[in-house]
Every structure is written in structure tokens, then in C-alpha cells.
Amino acid sequence: MPPALELPAETATVYLNRMTARIESVFPHSASWEMGQILRHVTGGAGFLEVFSGAAVLDACARQRIESIVEARAGGTPLAHVLGRWPFLDMSLEVTPDTFIPRPETEGVVREFLKEAESEVLACRPLLKVLDLGCGTGAIALGAARGCARVRADAVEVSAAAAETALQNIRNYDCEARIRIVRMDYLHESWEAYLDGPYDAILANPPYIADGDYNGLPAEVRREPRGALLGGVDGDEILKTIIARAGDWLVQGGRMILEMGMGQGEGLRSRVDEDACLRFLRFARDHQELERVMVIGRE
């Protein structure tokens, strides 16, 4: 009886195409990008090019890890939760199911702040006191601090678990001396009891999805903390509450920079116009050309 033929091992190209197809069967629009994130996570930074060229090798252990991640993802678990990390600006932040997953839209809050930090009004100030409301992973406070050496930030978070994740991210980027975590419920507790204002800038990506829209969200989004998503009946209640506090907590010439939902801009602008201390400055658009960030000045 002739010896059994040993089938050749599956090539890296065939293997990765098969794994990508598995994700694509559930998430067709993001499968290739997600596979790239998984690959870099498992290999410590190597992408498709390095693997296909032979510069990086996928051994049996790496393939086993990839398959485990792909199956969890295909089962609907958010990729950030499977990996435990997620990119934001030039950082890789620790993420848990207790934290809102940082999105590219929120990078716009940081970018607009950094523009304002170099503006005529704020550029001359030796230190910039920044308040980050609802910091989650600490993404906004970290982006501001790493982008501007003059920043000293208070990062507010009500969730103990999220605050711990934010603190770990702050430690990972050696910013403990410049960012203070403040455990408080900024919607219901006294700001005077916890915060050391006024501030040169208030930054936030608050919940802004209307309560009635929750069940229509993708299933994987509904796995994120509900309190980080829902902004009331109309979605903009929390945003309007934050705007109402701006006059008391911003220094003269200070800036408030807020992420907002689609179609909320004009209603929020009307709220700003009602306050004699505030001035609407501009909207900034996201990568989909939607008005996503609002910049407000304190007179």
C-alpha cells in the first residue's frame, strides 16, 4: 500500500483570505480592515504585506490566536473587546466592555482643540486647564495632553471600571502628572465639590443618541455601555446641559468643543445663542462630511 500523501500546508495568503471571508460573512463592509487589525495585533505589528512577502511568519500558534479572534468577532463581539485595544490618533488604547470604544469622529474633538490651543486667544497662556467630561478610555484627555505640552487636564468619569481603564491608559503614556481622573457624575453631582475650575477648555463626547433609537442600533454597538450611548428623548439633552454650564466653568476666551449627533447642530447653536456669555464659532465635519464637532467660545 503506497504511503499517504501529505497535503501541503495552507499558504498564508490562502489562510488569511479564508479568515477574512469568515468575517465578511457577517461584516461585509469592514472585513479587510478588521483582518488587518487582527493581524497586527497577533504579530506585534506586521500587516498583510509583511506576511505575504515572507518577512513575517504565521506559525501554528499565531494561526490559532487569529482563528479564536475571528470566531469571536463573527459571533458579534465588538473587535475592540476581543483585542482589548483600539487605535485612537497615534495611540493604542486599552478597551474593555465597560468603556465606550473610541471612534475616528472623536479624534475631531482633539484636532479642533489643538487648533484652538495655537489660536491668538489661547497660544499665549503658559498652561491650559482642560476638562474632559465622560472620559471613558481617556482618549480625549490623552490626545489633548500629548498634542499640547501646556495641557493639564481633569478627566471626569462616573464608572469605576471605565475610570480604571482610563488611568491605565494614562499610565501607559506617562501622563499621570498631567491628567487627573475625577470620579463623579457630572450630570447630577456638584461640580464645585469635585472640580478645580474654571477651565481654558471643556471637551466632551457625551451620549447623543435618542433613547428611542436604541433598539435600531447595530447589535455590536448595543454591547457597549448603554449610559455612554443614550442622550435622552431627543438625544441632545446632555449636550444642552453641558452647554448650560459653560459660562460658569470657562475662563474668558475659553473654548468648549463638543462631539454631536447628525442633525443636532442647529438646535445646539440656538441654545448657545441664548447665552450672552457664549459665542458659536464653527462646526467641524467628520470623515463622512457630516457636521460632527461644535466649537464654542466664552466671551
- For residue 204, pLDDT beyond 60: yes
Q: Residue 265 to residues 2, 74, 230, 262, 270: CA-CA distances in angstroms? A: 75, 36, 17, 8, 9
Give the single-character DSSP code of 56.
Answer: S
- For all residues of the chain together, what is the average pLDDT? 94
pLDDT tens digits, residue range 169-198?
999 999 999 999 999 999 999 999 999 999
- Report the distance separating Cα 52 and Cα 238, nearest Å: 48
pLDDT value for 10: 78
Q: Residue 299 to residues 216, 246, 256, 282: CA-CA distances in angstroms? A: 40, 11, 12, 15
* 256 touches 249 (CB < 8 A): no
pLDDT tens digits, residue range 256-275?
999 999 999 999 999 999 99
pLDDT value for 6: 43
- For residue 85, pLDDT beyond 50: yes
pLDDT value for 166: 98
Tell me the pairing of strands 179-183 and 291-298.
unpaired
Higher pLDDT, 146 or 12: 146
- For residue 87, pLDDT beyond 50: yes
* 249 touches 277 (CB < 8 A): no
C-alpha cell at 251: 475662563
Which of the four pLDDT bands, split at 50, 70 and 90, describes residue 9?
low
- Report the distance separating Cα 246 and Cα 57, nearest Å: 54
In the chain, what percentage of residues exceed pLDDT 70?
Answer: 97
pLDDT value for 4: 46
C-alpha cell at 36: 488587518
pLDDT tens digits, residue range 18-68?
999 999 999 999 999 999 999 999 999 888 888 888 888 889 999 999 999
- For residue 7, pLDDT beyond 80: no
- For residue 5, pLDDT beyond 50: no
- For residue 8, pLDDT beyond 70: no
Task: Average the pLDDT over 124-141 and give the result.
Answer: 98
pLDDT tens digits, residue range 143-167?
999 999 999 999 999 999 999 999 9
* 133 touches 206 (CB < 8 A): yes
pLDDT value for 165: 98
